[in-house]
Chains A and B, each alone.
Chain A
Amino acid sequence: MIHLYGLVQGLDDLPDLRGVDGAALERRRIAGLDVVVSRSTRELGEVTHDAILVHANVVEELMSRSRAVLPAQFGRAFTSEEQLTEAVQTKATALERGLTRVRGCVELGLRVLERGSRTDESTGLSGSDYMRTRLAEATERDRFSQELHGPLAALSRTSTRFGGASGDLLQAVYLVPEEQIEAFREHMNRIEGAHPELTMVCTGPWPPYTFADDREESHERSA
């Protein structure tokens, strides 16, 4: 089984780390792209926290040593060299585009919880009042969410919002050029200062897992 960690650009040396199942990291050049893998004699192993962390550590170390990394999600495995080669060759153009998209950027994640303003007490309301209250809450939530998201998206090369179905006020990931990370952090601090009532957490820098797929059209492009 061949375990794929990602595609890299500008990687001088492989990191001094063992891969999943303690296997040595190896590098392949396929269709002009550098691919980092490890080989295991086992079938696809059990999904454990340790195995996921090993994968994540390898990808993070690749990110720190390369100009660009297109990370593979954990569990992307191939049964043979031929299968790996075919998979990369088939998507070579899209993968190259992906490397260009993420070059010099990291992924930052943001989650902002609702302020708890939802009116839970509906006893005594008419049906119309209930609907109007819900609509007003949803409209205000969308407006405020966009107010938070807009400036952060402007600091990013591209971004993706999640959470349309959840009670979170905003759940998003941003592909941020490294030189903009400090500005992003400062803006987060300003939001925190201006809205102490909000519960929020911004995490990163992460390898650009969310932006590795060739779904550029689905991301919101900014800077």
Chain B
Amino acid sequence: MSARHEPVDKILASGGDLGRIASELEHVPQAFPRRVNADPEQVERGLAQLVLTLVELLRQLMERQALRRMELNTLTDDEIEQMGETFMKLEQRMQELKEHFDFEDRDLNLNLGPLGNLL
């Protein structure tokens, strides 16, 4: 092993559509602390990005918790139906808002440290 490896030297094995992974590298600068763009023209979009990211984080956390409770059989059929409808509507609404602000999933991504990325 020597220093100054070319990136390809560090790929031990790979397969499939590597473009899916490579395209994320364009967003590497987002690993640095996120800031709201204060440009008046952009501030609404920047705030929307921040808010939607947090909403998506909470939505996913709540859904995972609900699935876990389903697995443990601690939810009644009515509760499952009610939660399912809520999560479905929330997901659909999020989709509409992403389209409205022209965001892709990766625009709402967050690095959660040891938990990995949000999306």
The chain A residues found within 8 Å of chain B, CB to CB, are 15, 17, 57-58, 60-61, 63-64, 106, 108, 111, 113, 122, 125-131, 134-135, 138-139, 162-168, 171, 181, 184-185, 188-189, 191-192, 195-206
Contacts and interface: CB of A to CB of B under 8 A. Distances in A.
A127 B15 CA distance: 37
Contact of A168 (B4, B11, B116): B116
A201 B66 CA distance: 32
Nearest to B66: A131
Interface of B: 1-5, 10-18, 20-21, 60, 63-64, 66-67, 70-71, 77, 80-88, 91-92, 112, 114-119
Contacts, number: 134
Contacts of A203: 10-12
A166 B82 CA distance: 25
Contacts of B84: 125-131
10 contacts: A61-B2, A111-B21, A131-B80, A139-B71, A168-B117, A188-B13, A189-B13, A195-B15, A196-B16, A198-B15
Contact of B116 (A58, A108, A125, A163): A163
Nearest to A189: B13
Nearest to A53: B4
Given A60-B1, A122-B88, A202 B67 contact: no
B20 A185 contact: no
Contacts of B117: 163, 165-168
Nearest to B91: A122
A122 B18 contact: no
B12 A204 contact: yes
A113 B15 CA distance: 11
A162 B114 contact: yes
A209 B7 CA distance: 18
Given A127-B88, A201-B11, 16 more contacts: A15-B3, A58-B3, A108-B12, A113-B21, A126-B85, A128-B84, A129-B84, A131-B70, A131-B84, A165-B112, A166-B116, A166-B117, A167-B119, A199-B16, A201-B18, A202-B13
